[in-house]
Structure 1
Amino acid sequence: MTQTDTETVVEQDGPGRTRWGVFLVILAVPTLVVAALIALLVAWLFTDDSVASDVKKTSCAEALAYGGAKLPEGARDAGCYLDAGPEPRFEASFRMRTNKVGAWLAATYPDEPALRTKQCASRSIDACLNVGPVAGQHASVQVEVVHDGPNWSDVRFVAFTL
């Protein structure tokens, strides 16, 4: 057997080439996307949407009168709003005794049917009433009643122009 001479390889003095740059680019792209989504979420949470809206607080007498009604005696926690879009839309919400809701609506709309407990807009609504254009008014009315215990009901009254 013959012996061969071996070559000596000179080592480099500087650092070798690594793939850290590629790894950082791959890691940076998803990080920037997540950071942008978080920034958009924070901006959305702190933006006040009600500023651009035409919803304004109004008197309950005006809101209910638009639908030909008056605030019932003994009503509590009344809050009334006007959505002053192209056609006005008044909304009133208040609490009243459950056993007086039917009598209030019968006195307010004597020619209309009584509250119904079926075919309401949502399963969470216990009773509702839709009244076509109210006599002497140009508004239609929707009333939704949700029982809050055996004695009290939350009433939502909406009057709007067709």
Structure 2
Amino acid sequence: MIAAVPAVVAVWAVAVVVRAVTSDYPLGGGPEKVPCAEALAFGGARLPDGAYETDCTVRAWQDTYYGARFRMPRADVGAWLRNTYPAGPGPTTELCDDGADFCVNMSTDGTVPPGIDADAVQIDVTYEDPATAYVTFGAFTV
């Protein structure tokens, strides 16, 4: 029995090393699918009317990150942003993801609306064609 202990420890150590080398999230906290209502609510938003091809996730380990990606009618983006964050900063082209036409960035500098769980919210909008906008939404703690 005592001779088996080193073998068990060796197998465990090999498993830990293999996981660390092969995983993007060796300590856990990898992305998990969640309802989009949950992901957007963390950042004080709701899924806009007409949104489709939705994909929403959460990653949590030391911090929490909710992400949402969806397409929506291009003509409705401005109204959705104004209705969601009426006192928020306006769209900008600074600090946007590569390829985005514009973005909205709110953080702990006072631009995140009170009463939401996230410390920061980032929204990138890419116009794919005259009718479609691709939105990437992230809300997270810092």
What is the aligned-residue identity percentage?
A: 39
Q: Of the two, which has the highest radius of gyration?
A: 1
Q: SS at the partner of 1:96? A: strand
Q: Paired residues, what number?
A: 116
Q: Greater shift after overlay, 149-158 or 133-142?
A: 133-142
Change over 3 Å in CA distance of 1:122–1:55 after alignment to 2: closer
CA contact (8 A) 1:57 1:81 kept: yes
Hey, what does 1:125 align to over in structure 2?
100
CA contact (8 A) 1:78 1:95 kept: yes
Q: TM-score, normalization: structure 1?
A: 0.65
Hey, what does 2:3 align to over in structure 1?
none
Deviations 1:131-151 (A, max 9, x none): 233310231110000111111
Per-residue deviation at 1:48? 6.5
Amino acid at match of 1:121: C
Q: SS at the partner of 2:76? A: helix
Hey, what does 1:135 align to over in structure 2?
114
CA contact (8 A) 2:57 2:66 kept: yes
Amino acid at match of 1:129: V
Per-residue deviation at 1:114? 2.0
Matches of 2:87 and 2:30, distance apart in 1 = 33
CA contact (8 A) 1:54 1:84 kept: yes
Per-residue deviation at 1:55? 1.1
Hey, what does 1:59 align to over in structure 2?
35
Hey, what does 2:129 align to over in structure 1?
149
Amino acid at match of 2:61: G
Hey, what does 1:79 align to over in structure 2?
55
CA contact (8 A) 2:97 2:124 kept: no
CA contact (8 A) 1:102 1:114 kept: no
Q: Displaced runs of 4+ in structure 1, greater than 2 A? A: 47-54, 120-123
CA contact (8 A) 1:76 1:96 kept: yes
Change over 3 Å in CA distance of 1:53–1:135 after alignment to 2: closer
Of the three residues 72, 78, 82, the one matched with 1:106 is 82
Instruction: Give the unaligned 5+ runs of structure 2.
Output: 1-21
For CA contacts below 8 A with separation 6 or more, give which structure has more relative contact order: 2
Provide the alpha-carbon RMSD of the alignment: 2.0
